[in-house]
Structure 1
Amino acid sequence: MSVTARIRRSDNVLDRLGADIAAGRLTTGQTIPTETELMELYSVGRSSVREAVSTLAGLGMVTTAPRRGTTVTNRSEWNTLSRDVLRWLMDSKVMTPGILEAIDEARRVFEPASAALVAKRATRLQIIDIETAYAQMEDAALRGDAEAAVLADREFHLAILKATGNPILQAFDSAIDSILGVLFGVTANHMENFRANLSNHLAVLEAIRLRDPTAAERAMLDTIQFTTEKMKVAKLIE
């Protein structure tokens, strides 16, 4: 078997187990199936199972101990900045509302502050990257291209995080990536909402261009608040 095929099989086991844990089908403290059982269940080799379990352990979702097997850990120990963990949680009807509320709350903490930092320290090239992303958002809105809109919106926010020059803030890119994709897919009239929120994004861009940290922070808060209200309308959060 090729290395690529083995990785794909390992990813399949990882995805199935991760989704089961996130959805609560495997609960905290529960022992997951043994290696042999997983091999039979997914029709894969031992190495694929071990790679998947090792990855879950690295994400904090399981722990392995001699004579106890591999058990599911408490959600508080999971690496929720991981794209995979966020995706599993958001795909789970049981946990989605809580994780969306948590991400919304976190965005209010780090994104406005990031926009303020960028207004003070971004280079001209970094501002061009933000301008380019915004131009792509406008183009997607004009064409009614939902897929391009998601990508452009994502690039706008990620360009701002990148321009902070702060590696800790940049690590939140997975949260931004995940929430924008999910919200765009489930919020009613999403293209209308996307177009309506363009003015807030433009206000962020203009404040950054003018090197106005206070205005950039306020505009980013307005941008996030718009999304928050749409999540409430869609009953994704309280």
Structure 2
Amino acid sequence: MFEREPLVGTMTAQVAKIIGMRVVGGEFLPGDALPVESDLCSAYGVSRTTVREAIKQLSSKRLIDVSPKIGTRVLPFSDWNLLDRDVLAWRLHAQFDSKIIEDIYEMRLCFEPRACYLAAQAGNAADMQLLDRRYRELADAYTSNEVRAAAEADLAFHMTIIEVSRNGMFITIGNGIKAALRVSSEMLLRHATRPSEDLELHAAVHRHILAHEPDAAAKAMTDLLSASQARLLPYTVKP
């Protein structure tokens, strides 16, 4: 459905990603024991040290639990650190289904309209200039027919609004879900039938923030996110 990122980083990170995607993809279910260390070493052609470090990373993300008595087992979904960047990215790659999209947009609808409200209410002249530049970059990217460039411009536009809100919690959440924002933007652009409509929704957000109209800005973002979710869901897999 979208371009997969190549394996990068250390061997430990690569092994952690492979095992992590097997967990979030459902190959290993909650309560299941992972293969023993020697089997993982053989399967991936790596040392015991590499496997141990990879397991330690997955444990820190609360995907698995390591116990001397019962071994390494997959934790329940409710224990997973779902805002961890790696966990979120692995879920998107392993099972890009409608439930993930619904969860992401429910969260975005909870804080992005409010971020627009705060940005319109208290943004200074420098903030408005930056947001205006981000919107111009987005508009230019939409005419380039380059999906990846347009997705990055869309991400920059949304992240700028969140940063201008000056709400530290919003900024932390925004940084945590960058992978989800990027992938959903790419999906929307790949399947867009009328890109001008999407740009018009962004233009309304841009216009109301720059006019310091908090309520209108918040509504414009709600309209944008609701429309984006409705357009994206038909291209996801039912869980």
TM-score by length of 1: 0.88
* Secondary structure, counterpart of 2:66 in structure 1: strand
The residue number in structure 2 matching 1:90 is 92
Q: In 2, distance between residues paired with 1:232 and 1:43?
A: 39
Which one-letter code corresponds to 1:128 in the other structure? Answer: Q
The residue number in structure 2 matching 1:58 is 60
Q: 1:22 to 1:221 in 2, by over 3 A?
A: same
Q: 1:143 to 1:185 in 2, by over 3 A?
A: closer
Which one-letter code corresponds to 1:19 in the other structure? Answer: M
- The percent of aligned pairs where both chains have the same amino acid is 28
Cα shift readout 1:129-188 (whole Å, capped 9, x = no counterpart): 222221111111122221110000000011111112222111222465233332344448
The residue number in structure 2 matching 1:31 is 33
Q: Which stretch has the larger CA shift, 153-162 or 42-51? A: 42-51
Q: In 1, distance between residues paired with 2:124 and 2:64?
A: 42
Q: In 1, distance between residues paired with 2:114 and 2:79?
A: 26
The residue number in structure 2 matching 1:162 is 163
Q: 1:205 to 1:237 in 2, by over 3 A?
A: farther
* Secondary structure, counterpart of 1:197 in structure 2: helix
Q: In 2, distance between residues paired with 1:175 and 1:89?
A: 14
Q: In 2, distance between residues paired with 1:206 and 1:237?
A: 36
The residue number in structure 2 matching 1:49 is 51
Q: Is the 8 A contact 1:116 1:213 kept in 2?
A: yes
**Deviation at residue 226 of structure 1 after TM alignment:** 1.3
The residue number in structure 1 matching 2:3 is none
* Secondary structure, counterpart of 2:143 in structure 1: helix
Unaligned runs of 5+ in 1: 1-6
Count the aligned residue pairs.
Answer: 231
Q: 1:16 aligns with which of 12, 15, 18?
A: 18
Unaligned runs of 5+ in 2: 1-8
Q: In 2, distance between residues paired with 1:209 and 1:18?
A: 43
RMSD: 2.1
Q: 1:113 to 1:18 in 2, by over 3 A?
A: same
Cα shift readout 1:28-52 (whole Å, capped 9, x = no counterpart): 0111122222212111122221221
Which one-letter code corresponds to 2:224 in the other structure? Answer: T
TM-score by length of 2: 0.88
